[in-house]
Amino acid sequence: MNRVSIDNESASCKQEPMAAESAHQDSAVRARDLERSVALGRRRLLRGGLGAAPILATLASGPVSAGLCTTGSAFASLNASGTQTSQTCGGRSPATWMASGGSGGWPINGNTLFSACFSPAMSDSTLKIKTVLDPSKGYDPVACNCVAALLNASASPPLTPASILGAAYVKAIWSSYKNKGYFEPTAGIQWNGGQIVDWITTTYS
């Protein structure tokens, strides 16, 4: 992975609450549009007869697995039915980032303070992202996976589609979880820490 400039590192960790909120709303809109498009496609294929069956099997995929990902709102609303429209994701897990050969080559320098990237800060405001990211350190799994997701979103090119989990959306997830104890991927559905981690891990390859 190519290193990015210091200016880009700073921009990746700039706190932009309005942008994060906008990303949250835009993601829900994209999910609804995607679901409508798939439904329309199914109706058209059904009119084509039995020959459409293999294509329908692709459109109506089963539960999301590693390497496939969908928006948080779509994952939450469709998880019960097991039917989801997915994109391919190539995100790295926390362990993979830690084993990738040195935090100096990450899209955001590993010595960057967690508090420079996320708000609110953790109880220890001096923690670096490479420390929070390290699974062996035992920090909050949501924080650990949010750091991995931010690195994935900040890579060039991004390892996860911006329409699925961009940098601003990652920050919105952490902010809501830290302030409220949950995150709402869509209105009326509240994810606890375990559910947040479950979804983020679907963006890893």
Distance in angstroms (rounded) separating the CA atoms of residues 190 and 205: 26
Neighbouring CB atoms inside 10 A of 38's CB total: 16
Q: Total structural domains in the chain?
A: 1
Which of 48-52, 102-106, 107-111, 176-180 has the weakest average pLDDT? 48-52
pLDDT digits (tens, 9 = 90+) for 71-128: 888 777 665 455 555 678 899 999 999 998 676 789 999 999 999 999 999 999 999 9
On whether residue 183 sits in a domain, the answer given is yes
On whether residue 1 sits in a domain, the answer given is no
Contact status, residue 48 vs residue 186, Cβ threshold 8 Å: no
What is the arithmetic mean of pLDDT over 19-37?
46
- Residue 84 structural domain: 6-201
Distance in angstroms (rounded) separating the CA atoms of residues 158 and 32: 23
Q: Give the CA distances from residue 125 to residues 112, 116, 122, in Å, rounded to whole numbers and listed in that order.
A: 11, 9, 6
Contact status, residue 183 vs residue 196, Cβ threshold 8 Å: yes
Structure confidence at residue 10 (pLDDT): 41
Structure confidence at residue 131 (pLDDT): 96
Residue with tokens 């890893």: 204
pTM above 0.75, yes or no: no
On whether residue 186 sits in a domain, the answer given is yes
Q: Which residue has the higher pLDDT, 137 or 32?
A: 137
On whether residue 49 sits in a domain, the answer given is yes
Of 77, 79, 42, 46, the residue nearest 60 (C-alpha): 42
Tell me which DSSP letter residue 100 carries: S
Q: Give the CA distances from residue 122 to residues 112, 125, 170, in Å, rounded to whole numbers and listed in that order.
A: 14, 6, 15
Distance in angstroms (rounded) separating the CA atoms of residues 160 and 155: 9
Residues in the chain: 205
DSSP lists the bridge partners of residue 1 as none
Structure confidence at residue 64 (pLDDT): 37
Alpha helices in 108-189 (DSSP H): 114-117, 129-133, 141-154, 162-165, 167-180
Structure confidence at residue 83 (pLDDT): 52
Q: Which residue has the higher pLDDT, 42 or 86?
A: 86
Tell me which DSSP letter residue 46 carries: H
